[in-house]
Each structure stands twice: as structure tokens, then as C-alpha cells.
Structure 1
Amino acid sequence: MHVILDDTAMAAAGLGNLLASRLIHRAHAEPGWYLYATACALVEADRARPGTGEHIAALPGITILDLDLTAALSVARGDTWALAHTLHAAQPTPERPTGAVVATTAPGTWAAHPVRILDLTP
């Protein structure tokens, strides 16, 4: 299971969201669970709640996805960097053949996009 935290999920994790905490624990403790955070969403989460970036980056079960060339080109066409980078990262890749699920506390943000979501709203 491949899951990408959007900026709202990262901020919620820092505020003690139980669902986000369980997801982070599962990714750290259980084989076959992978949790990611895109660099652009990490920046946006840190702007919304200072300290979130360091908190998420320090967690051992989360892989930070860099802004590489293909991601940068996707971001250039997006409305916001955080959403565009997360959407790009959720698409199928050789490492994630079926793509990834986006964990969010703002599911309405993703309604117009072809992505599976995991609603972390308490």
C-alpha cells in the first residue's frame, strides 16, 4: 500500500490527528506499507503550521519525494505547487504500478482529480 500525505494530512499529523498517527505507525511498523510526502506539500504544510516540516522529515516511516524534472514540469502546470506535486507523485510509476492513495483532511480538494483518496478527517 502506497500512500502520499498531502499538506493538510501533514499538518493534521502534527496536531495529533489519530488517523494520521495510525497511518504513520503502520508505515513504520508493517511490511508492505509505504508513506510519502512531496517536498512541495511539505513546504506548504510548514507554512500553515510552522515546525511541521521538521516533524515529518524526522519520522522514519516517511519518504520525502524530491522535486525532480518531471515533477517540476507537472508543478508548472498546476494551480498550487503542493497539490500539483502530490498529484504527480500519486500517478503510477515502476515503483508504484497502481499509483498511490492521497491521504488528506480536505477530500473536496481532490474531487476534480483522478486520484484515490484516504480521508483523514476526524
Structure 2
Amino acid sequence: MIPALLDHSALLALGAGNRAMSAFVVDAAAGRAVVHVPVLCLTAAEAERRGVAAHIGSLPGIEVEPLELSASIPVGALIAGGTDWRIAHAVHAARPSVVHLSGRVVLSVRPELYDGTGISPIDPGQTG
């Protein structure tokens, strides 16, 4: 199972009833997928649509990933370097790490936001 990250656009799509995102969350609740939500992505989704964070937080199988000090430094550097703050936490979390040696997949309905970041997100509505 490849661990996945949901960015703010995926969370907003889920909150709007996107079928592909809903199916993915059902898989996570059933233990067929590993899903994490970077807290800055959750914050961005909440800023755009109030109530989305509470909805996401109530879903089984989805883990909200905090922004710890060890992540805040590189995430801050990404933002300072021009990366959109709404995706900076997802970009950092998607990169290979000690815990996730191969990195993690980002699910986004706005993959163009990641141009130039080195991350190639998957649009769940465009998968085959």
C-alpha cells in the first residue's frame, strides 16, 4: 500500500462530493489505503470552505499530519522560496524521508499547483 497525502484541493473536492475522492476515503476507512492530510492543507481548505476541517477530522481512516518543528523549518523555506503555502506542507511530506523511504503520493485535483516543486501529484478523477 502506497501512503497518500490529500492536499487542500482534494479535501475541497471530497467535501463537495467528488466520487473519486469519496471512494478513496472509503478505501482508507476499510484499511485498503493509507491517507494522511498535512495540517497546512487542511487549514487552507478550511479557509476556503468553513466546516471542511471538522468534516475531514470526523472521517475514519484519515490521519491529520501535524506540522512539527522538524517539518516547519523546511516548509518555511519552501514558502520563502515561492511555493504556495497551501501546498508547501504536502510538498515536504511527499519527499522521501526516514519514515517514508520512497516518499508519498499527493492526491490533488489541481496538479498544476505543483509545477516546479519536483512533486508529480495524481488527480484521482483522472486515473484510469
Q: Same fold (TM over 0.5)?
A: yes
Determine what percentage of the aligned residue pairs are the same residue: 30
For 1:7 and 1:90, the matched residues in 2 are separated by 14
5+ residue gaps, structure 2, are none
Q: How many residues get paired? A: 121
Q: CA offset at residue 117 of structure 1? A: 1.5
Q: Summarize the alignment of residues 83-102 of structure 1 with structure 2, pairs less than 5 Å apart.
A: 83-102=87-106
For 1:50 and 1:75, the matched residues in 2 are separated by 24
Q: Summarize the alignment of residues 1-122 of structure 1 with structure 2, pairs less than 5 Å apart.
A: 1-31=2-32, 33-77=33-77, 78=79, 79-121=83-125
Q: CA offset at residue 24 of structure 1? A: 0.8
5+ residue gaps, structure 1, are none
SS in 2 for 1:102: strand
SS in 1 for 2:17: coil
TM-score relative to the length of structure 2:
0.87
Q: CA offset at residue 93 of structure 1? A: 2.3
Give the partner amino acid of 1:8.
S
Give the partner amino acid of 1:120.
P
Matched-pair contact (CA < 8 Å) for 1:106–1:121: no
Q: Could you list the runs of 4 or more consecutive aligned residues of structure 1 that deviate by over 3 angstroms after TM superposition?
A: none
> 1:27 and 1:116, CA in 2 relative to 1: closer, same or farther beyond 3 A?
farther
